[in-house]
Amino acid sequence: MEEKHYMISDAAKMVDVESHVLRYWEEELKIDIPRNEMGHRYYTDTYIHLFKEIKNLKEQGFLLKAIKTLMPGLMEGKSFSKEDSQTISETIVEENALAEPEKEKTAALKEHETNVCAEEKMEQFRLILGGIVSRAIEDNNEVLGKEVSSRVSDSVIKEMDYLLRLKEEREEERYKKFDEVLRNYQKGNKEAAAATEKKKLFKFRKKKK
DNA sequence: TTCCAAGTCTCTCATTCTTT
DNA sequence: AAAGAATGAGAGACTTGGAA
């Protein structure tokens, strides 16, 4: 059966974005959209699905930069089924540490705990700082107040810098993990297909004999 | 304040479709 | 067939929000 072709306006409606957004994503993510004899883009169901995946990732807070790094994975799996999409979504959910309680402790959950720990640490830090500043004000010692404030500022900046660096490192790690999961999943599919094919061939040969 | 990412808007031109 | 509307392309300026 021939694959259906959609114009950009139809595709935009299906993906639920404006047509210029599709053009923008195409350019930014280096997606090679086929053209008809008029030079107009046409989108197949595969591309519609791909753009839906991209939109899905965008909604989960992924930047185009991050999505771009996942493009090889997304492109390899051109015929994503509903289950695939589910798998991807689940992976993202896990990676975002939204795992349900009954699920075993995943790396994402551990990561979440680290985040919580960092937040608690930050909260404690804030309380301590609050105490220091309050005391300084109570003492009404302007000089001391200034000194404390400057020390506190330095500490806050250092602490925030450290936490931000940690966060960035974790995010990068998360993107890598997600990409790896995608690749493994697709590899698994390919291997399963190859095994089925091999089995069929074996049966056929056996029958022939 | 400046820079950057991610859109968003506007303009012009080309092609196709519809109406008269 | 001609005119006008609709649709699409491409380019560049503009906006917005966040980070440095």
**What does the mean pLDDT of chain A come to?**
56
Reply yes or no on whether the pLDDT at A45 is more than 70.
Answer: yes
Reply yes or no on whether the pLDDT at A55 is more than 60.
Answer: yes
Cα(A57)–Cα(A47) distance, rounded to whole angstroms?
Answer: 15
Please name the residues in contact with A83: beta carbons below 8 A apart, sequence gap of 6 or more: none
Eight-state DSSP code of residue A2: P
Asked whether residue A23, judged by its CB, lies under 7 Å from any atom of the DNA or RNA strand C, the reply is yes
Mean pLDDT value across residues A134-152: 42
Q: For residue range A91-112, what is the model confidence (pLDDT) as tens digits?
A: 444 444 333 333 333 333 334 4
Q: For residue range A7-30, what is the model confidence (pLDDT) as tens digits?
A: 777 777 777 777 777 877 877 777
Eight-state DSSP code of residue A17: S
pLDDT at A173: 58
pLDDT at A201: 58
Q: How confident is the model at residue A90 (pLDDT cuts 50, 70, 90)?
A: very low
Tell which CATH classification among 3.40.47.10, 3.40.50.720, 1.10.1660.10, 3.30.70.380 matches the domain A8-80: 1.10.1660.10
Eight-state DSSP code of residue A3: P
Asked whether residue A20, judged by its CB, lies under 7 Å from any atom of the DNA or RNA strand C, the reply is yes
The residue with greater pLDDT, A122 or A201, is: A201
Cβ distance A108 to A97 under 8 Å? yes
The domain segmentation of chain A, as residue ranges, is 8-80, 83-208
pLDDT at A149: 45
Q: CA(A162)–C1'(B20) in Å?
A: 73
In this complex, the residue with its CA at the shortest distance from the C1' of nucleotide B6 is A64
Reply yes or no on whether the pLDDT at A124 is more than 50.
Answer: no
Q: How confident is the model at residue A51 (pLDDT cuts 50, 70, 90)?
A: confident
**Rounded alpha-carbon distances, angstroms, from residue A84 to A6, A87, A97, A209:** 23, 5, 20, 39
In chain A, % of residues over pLDDT 70 = 27
Asked whether residue A40, judged by its CB, lies under 7 Å from any atom of the DNA or RNA strand C, the reply is yes
3-state secondary structure of A1: coil
What is chain A's length?
209
Cα(A161)–Cα(A163) distance, rounded to whole angstroms?
Answer: 6
Pick from A109, A131, A126: nearest CA to A163: A126
CB atoms within 10 A of CB A151: 12
Please name the residues in contact with A12: beta carbons below 8 A apart, sequence gap of 6 or more: A18, A19, A21, A22
Asked whether residue A98, judged by its CB, lies under 7 Å from any atom of the DNA or RNA strand C, the reply is no
pLDDT at A54: 79
Buried b (16+ CB within 10 A) or exposed e, A102-119: eeeeeebbebbeeeeebe
Backbone angles phi, psi at A81, to 5 degrees: -90, 175
**Rounded alpha-carbon distances, angstroms, from residue A78 to A1, A30, A45, A73, A74:** 17, 15, 10, 9, 7
